[in-house]
Structure 1
Amino acid sequence: MTDDEVLAEFRAAAALLEGHFILSSGRHSSNYLQCARVLMNAERAAKLAFALAQKLPRELRSEIDLVVSPAMGGIIIGHEMGRALGVDALFLERPEGEFMLRRGFAIEPGQKVLLVEDVVTTGLSSRQAMDAVRAEGGIVLAEAALVDRSAGQADLGVPFYPLVTLNFPVYEADALPEELAAIPAIKPGSRKN
């Protein structure tokens, strides 16, 4: 899929929002991608996951034993990536602020993992999720995401394969442009801190 085709899927799902948003990173933006909306249609989610899986080098695809994604945003795309790659998919949760496996999920020592996210902005959640995978004995080979909002700046420490890279401006809370500061901010993401 081309970038335009991917964004057309977001627009068709009313998932490309405009306003004043506080991102999970704490930064502010006038654009927000509501991946939950684009993934609520199973056919669309499968199509996007298949396109994302095709972005991975063939040799990498053949090495992956397991897909792991952070809750909440990564659950659906992680599940669909597991299907596209023919491997199991599980997710990490943060019941008390740090990522951990629950629900009987386990990573076998030495299992080769593809971390899958919906959106990467700074890479903080990704790095924290990778730490949790490594603490369980998994080997993180790479990360894949529907959207790279970092404009290629996120340092994940592993190869990174986004379906689309966007360069929407983001701002610190004390450096908002006037037009953005004039709009009430909302925090649509799942992370509270």
Structure 2
Amino acid sequence: MTEDEILAEFRASDALLEGHFILSSGRHGAQYLQCARLLMNPARAARVAAALADKLPGNIRRSIDIVVSPAMGGVIIGHEMGRALGLDALFLERPEGTFELRRGFRLQPGQKVLMMEDVVTTGLSSREAIQAIQDAGGEVIAAGALIDRSNGAAQFDVPFFPLLTLDVPSYAAEELPPELAAIPAIKPGSRTETPAG
């Protein structure tokens, strides 16, 4: 898929919003990507996952044993990546604020993992997910995301493969430009606890 085709998928599903948004990281931005809207259509979810799977280098793709994603945002795309790669897909949850495997999910020691996210803003929650996977015995060999909107700030100790990179500025609450500060902020995400990225 080309960048225009990927953006067309977001626009067709009303998943690319314009305004003043408080992102899950706690930062503010003028655009918001609601990946749940994109992924609610199974055929569209399968298309974007297949496109991302095609971007993975062959040596990494062949080495992955399992896909693990953080809940909630990563669950559907993680599942679809599992389907695209012909692998099982597990998800992490934060019942007490820290990611962990639950529901009988477990990793075999040394199992090679693709950690899969929907959107990466700061990379903090992705790094927390990678740590939880390592703590559970897995070896994260790559990270993937539908969208990297970190403007290069998200750094991982493994190769990172976003389907699309959007260089959209985000701002701390005290650093808002006047045009953004003039618009009431809304928080369209699903998380209500302390922002983590």
Aligned to 2:60: 60
2:163 corresponds to 1:160: no
2:161 corresponds to 1:131: no
- Structure 1 residue 137: Cα displacement: 0.6
- Structure 1 residue 30: Cα displacement: 0.7
Aligned to 2:24: 24
Deviations 1:91-128 (A, max 9, x none): 00011111011111101111000000000011000000
Deviations 1:138-184 (A, max 9, x none): 00001010000012331011100000000111111001011211222
- 8 Å CA contact 1:152, 1:165 repeated in 2: no
Aligned to 1:97: 97
**Runs of 4+ in structure 1 displaced over 3 angstroms?**
none
In 1, the alpha carbon distance for the partners of 2:167 and 2:74 equals 21
- Structure 1 residue 26: Cα displacement: 1.0
* TM-score relative to the length of structure 1: 0.98
What is the letter of the counterpart of residue 20 of structure 2? H
Identity %: 70
In 2, the alpha carbon distance for the partners of 1:151 and 1:174 equals 19
- Structure 1 residue 188: Cα displacement: 1.7
Unaligned runs of 5+ in 2: none
Aligned residues: 193
Deviations 1:6-54 (A, max 9, x none): 0000000000001111111111001000000000000000000000000
The residue matched to 1:87 in structure 2 has which SS?
coil
What is the letter of the counterpart of residue 173 of structure 1? A
* TM-score relative to the length of structure 2: 0.96
Provide the alpha-carbon RMSD of the alignment.
Answer: 0.8
- 8 Å CA contact 1:144, 1:160 repeated in 2: yes
- 8 Å CA contact 2:151, 2:169 repeated in 1: no
The residue matched to 2:117 in structure 1 has which SS?
strand
In 2, the alpha carbon distance for the partners of 1:164 and 1:148 equals 6
- Structure 1 residue 190: Cα displacement: 2.7
